[in-house]
Structure 1
C-alpha cells in the first residue's frame, strides 16, 4: 500500500491537473460509468462536522472513501480546521492501495468543480468575477476561475469585511484589481459569481441577480445550509455535480423542498461535458451550478496524486 502524505500534495497536484481529473470524473458519472455512494455526515457538537464521501468509477478503476470534516478549534492548535484523508482500494479485490492526505486536495477539487462550471456555462464575454465569501477556500476558487475567462476585475463581499484582504491579495497576485462592494453592486456588476460560505441563510436574493449571470454555488454541502434565495433557481437553468446530493444537501434542497423546482429539471454538468446537453442557450440565460462536492472528485484527484508521487519517488510503500 502507498502512503502519500499531506506535505507533498502541493508538489503533485495543481489547478490544471485537478480540473482535468474532475472533468473526467463528472463525464464518467453522466455516462453511467461511475457513481457516488450515499454521504454520511454527522454533527459532533461545538460546530464540528465529520463525514464520509465515497464512490466507484468502474472505467477509471477508482474505489474509495474520503473521511474528514470541519473542526473549528483546530486553528488554536495550529492546524487546518478542515481535516480530510482519502483511502483508495482495488475495485476487484477490495485490498487497500493508498492513503492520501486530503486537505489541499479538497480545496483544489472544490475549486476545480466551480472552474469547470465556468468553462462550460459562463458567457464567453464574462469580464467581472464576483466573490461571495472570503474564507480559506476563496483564494483557491479565484485562482481556478481566472483560468477560464478573461476577467478584467474582481469584486467581493463577505459577512465580515475585515476578511476581504484575502480576496484583495489573491486578486493582486493574479494581476487583477479588486473592489469590495455591497450585494446590490455585486449582483449588478458581476458576470460570474462564486459563493463559498458556510451560511445557513440565503445571502444572494432574487433581486440581486441579473440576466446572463452564471453562479457557482460551492458552500452548500449539508442539510440546512443555504446561499441563494430559492427564487433564483426558478429563473435559472440549474446544473449540478450529482442530482441526488443537490436536492438533499445542496443549494437545490430549498427550492425542491418548497415545491418550486422539480428534481427532473436539474442537469448534471457531466452531460454538458459529454455533449448530451447544450448547456447555456443564450446570453440572457441565468445558469446556476450547485456544487455539492461528490466522493468521486476526491478519488479522482487522490488517484492522480498517487500516480505522480510514485513516479517522482514521493510516495511511501508499506506492507499492510
Structure 2
C-alpha cells in the first residue's frame, strides 16, 4: 500500500487535474458506471462532525472511502477545520492500495465541482463573481471560478467581515478588483458561490438577479443551510447527486418546505453527457447544489497516487 501524505499533494495534483477528474466522475455517474454509497455522518458535539463518504467507479476502477469531518476548534490550534484521509482499494480483490492525505484534495475537488457547474450552467457573458463566505475553501473557489469565466470583478460577503481581506488578496493575485459588500448587493453578481458552514440561510431570493448562476457548496449535512427555499423554488436546480441533495444538501430545506420536489432536481452529469440541455435562457436562475460525493474524493486521490508512483514519491508499506 502506498502512503501519500498531505505534504505531497500540492506537488501532485493541480486544480486542472481536479477539474478533469471531477468532470469525468460526474459523467460516469450519469452513465451509470459509478455510484456512491450512503453517507455516514455523526455529530460529535461542539460543532464537530465526522463521517465517511465512499463509492465505486467501475469505469475508473476505483473503490474507496474518505474518512474525515469538520472540527471548528482547529483554527485556534494552527490547523484547518476540515480534516480527512482517503483510502483506495482494489475493486477486484478488496486489497488496500493507498492511503492519501485528503485536506487539500477536499478543497480542490470542491472547487472543481463548483467550476464544472459554472462552466456548464453560467451565462457565457458573466462578468461579476460573488462569493458568500471567506473561510479556508473560499480562495480555492475564487481561483477555480476565475478559470471557468473571464470575470471583471469580484464582490464578497462574510458573516465576519474581518476575514474578507484574505479573499481580496486572492482576487488581487488574479488581477481582479475586489469589494466587500452587504448581501443585497449580490444582485450585481452574474455568478454567486456560497461556501459557508451556516446553520441558517443568509442569501435570500431577493439578493439574486435573473440570469444568475449559483454554486451552493457549503451544505453537506442535515441542518446546514446557505440560501432560502424560495430561491431554489424559482430556479432550475442541478446537483452532484440527487439522493444527497434532498437529504443533506441545500435542497433538503426546499424539499421539506414543499417548495421543490426531488423530481425537479437534475444531476449535472446529465448535462455533461448531453442528456439535459442545462441553461435554457439568459434570464433563468440556475443553482448547483454541491453536496460533495465520495466519488469525487476517490477520483482526485487516484490522480495523486498515479503521479506519486510515476515520480517515486510516497511510502510503500506492506499490508
Unaligned runs of 5+ in 2: none
Shift of 1:156: 0.5
Specify the alignment match of 1:166 in structure 2: 166
Specify the alignment match of 1:119 in structure 2: 119
Shift of 1:313: 1.3
Would the aligned equivalents of 2:64 and 2:88 in 1 still touch at CA under 8 Å? Answer: yes
Unaligned runs of 5+ in 1: none
Structure 1: distance between partners of 2:316 and 2:156: 45
Note the alpha carbon deviations across 1:263-313, whole angstroms, 9 max, x for none: 011000001011110000010000000000000000000001000011011
Would the aligned equivalents of 2:130 and 2:192 in 1 still touch at CA under 8 Å? Answer: yes
Shift of 1:206: 1.2
Structure 2: distance between partners of 1:222 and 1:70: 11
Q: Give the superposed CA RMSD.
A: 0.7
Specify the alignment match of 2:38 in structure 1: 38
Q: How do 1:1-320 residues align onto structure 2 when only pairs under 5 Å count?
A: 1-186=1-186, 188-320=187-319
Structure 2: distance between partners of 1:44 and 1:208: 34
Shift of 1:79: 2.4
Structure 2: distance between partners of 1:165 and 1:76: 19
Would the aligned equivalents of 2:239 and 2:291 in 1 still touch at CA under 8 Å? Answer: yes
Structure 1: distance between partners of 2:120 and 2:107: 20
Shift of 1:81: 1.9
Structure 2: distance between partners of 1:272 and 1:145: 18
Structure 1: distance between partners of 2:271 and 2:4: 33
Structure 2: distance between partners of 1:68 and 1:261: 30
Structure 2: distance between partners of 1:79 and 1:250: 26
* Secondary structure of 1:204 counterpart: coil
Shift of 1:74: 2.2
Structure 1: distance between partners of 2:203 and 2:78: 33
Shift of 1:77: 2.8
Note the alpha carbon deviations across 1:175-227, whole angstroms, 9 max, x for none: 100001111111x2100000000111111111111110000000000001111
Structure 2: distance between partners of 1:284 and 1:16: 30
Q: TM-score, normalised by structure 1?
A: 0.99
Shift of 1:80: 2.2
Structure 1: distance between partners of 2:67 and 2:32: 24
Shift of 1:71: 1.5
Shift of 1:135: 0.4
Q: TM-score, normalised by structure 2?
A: 0.99
* Secondary structure of 1:99 counterpart: strand
Structure 2: distance between partners of 1:27 and 1:247: 20
Shift of 1:315: 2.1
Would the aligned equivalents of 2:80 and 2:136 in 1 still touch at CA under 8 Å? Answer: no
* Secondary structure of 2:226 counterpart: strand
Structure 2: distance between partners of 1:253 and 1:116: 22
